[in-house]
Amino acid sequence: MNEKERTSVALDVPSEILRKIYVTMLKIRVFEERVAELLLPPKKEIVTPCHLYIGQEAVATGVCFALKRDDYVFSTHRSHGHFIAKGGNLKALMAELYCKKTGCSRGKGGSMHVASSSLGLLGSSAIVGGTMPIAVGAALAFSMQNRDAVSVVFFGDGAASEGIFYESLNFASLKKLPVIFVCENNLYCTHLPVAACLADTNIYRKSESFAMSGIRVDGNDVIEVYKVAKKAVEDARSGKGPTLIECLTYRWRGHVGPYDDLDKGLRSREELDYWMSRCPIKMLEKDLIQHRIISESEKEQIRKAVSEEVEEAITFARESPYPNENNLLHDVFELK
């Protein structure tokens, strides 16, 4: 049996998919680590506020690998991981962070408003919960047009405090729409522990009030995320309606920017170290090496290739032009 055909009985996912998942997670991590460096003084090459995805790579990757290219994804202010997991070009993303004309949003969106219609990533928003009704609307359109497509909306635990969250769950379940709600519960709503914001922190159980499926998964286990997302997507496509997936994960950096926020007193070094010991990439690496899907030497080769791709993206962004001020109103919508 060759490498392409081989599957791991223990992992129950084709080896080819696992390798691609690993590469994608690594791309997100290396990209974000370099962005963190570029945000730091004295250079501060990147000035747009960046909410880094380091530590949460398994969520975006596991979910997006369960999707087709024509499926829609709606993102948040922490958008880089979703863009890369959906197959986005690193040069276009890096250029957007540099606010350059060659960026995926033409340099006018910055980090919090990443979009790519060709990828099916129709938008990101800094408004907490702001993309939920849009994702539900897209799913309604799919249903009305009899399209074999699914809509996915990512949101943080803080969005579970928003009224639009409950309205979206209700309407999606009422109409049995093909939409997946993915809560990235990283335990902190900006600078507050989730328990200080929600009386009931079992976010996945909010689905019970709306007669829809809800499940909590280990958001650092990409294989578990992928399997659950795959089932939810299959259910959505077959007319069984929406699913709420709560992924327990953890952001290594602060709410925004390159620092760890330990000086703010909202979390301890012990807590951060614990979650870093549960690194989603290292967890997957261990499985891949144990089941001989990749070797130690291949692991180093992959990391080298990914690092080179990220550096090429930085060079591209640095050398790209800024948008012309005369084109300030281009690529935007006019409401009448």
User: Where does the chain have alpha helices with state H?
Assistant: 15-39, 57-64, 80-85, 90-97, 132-144, 163-174, 222-237, 269-277, 280-290, 296-319
Looking at every residue in the chain, the average pLDDT score rounds to 92
Q: Which of 26, 49, 27, 24 is nearest to 259 (CA)?
A: 49
Main-chain dihedrals φ then ψ at residue 246, nearest 5 degrees: -100, 120
Number of H-type helices and E-type strands within the chain: 10, 8
Angle at 281 between CA 10 and CA 38, to 5 degrees: 165
Quick one: DSSP state of residue 109?
A: S
Tell me the whole-structure pTM to 2 decimals. Answer: 0.92
pLDDT in tens, 59-103: 999 999 999 999 999 999 999 999 999 999 999 999 999 999 999
User: What is the set of domains in the chain, with CATH numbers?
Assistant: 15-326 (3.40.50.970)
Kindly tell me the sign of the dihedral angle through the C-alpha atoms of 257, 259, 263, 266.
Answer: positive
pLDDT in tens, 104-157: 998 888 999 999 989 999 888 888 889 999 999 999 999 999 999 999 999 999
pLDDT in tens, 256-297: 999 998 988 888 999 999 999 999 999 999 999 999 999 999
Buried b (16+ CB within 10 A) or exposed e, 293-315: bbeeeeeeebeeebbebbeebbe
Quickly state the pLDDT bin for 333 (edges 50, 70, 90): low
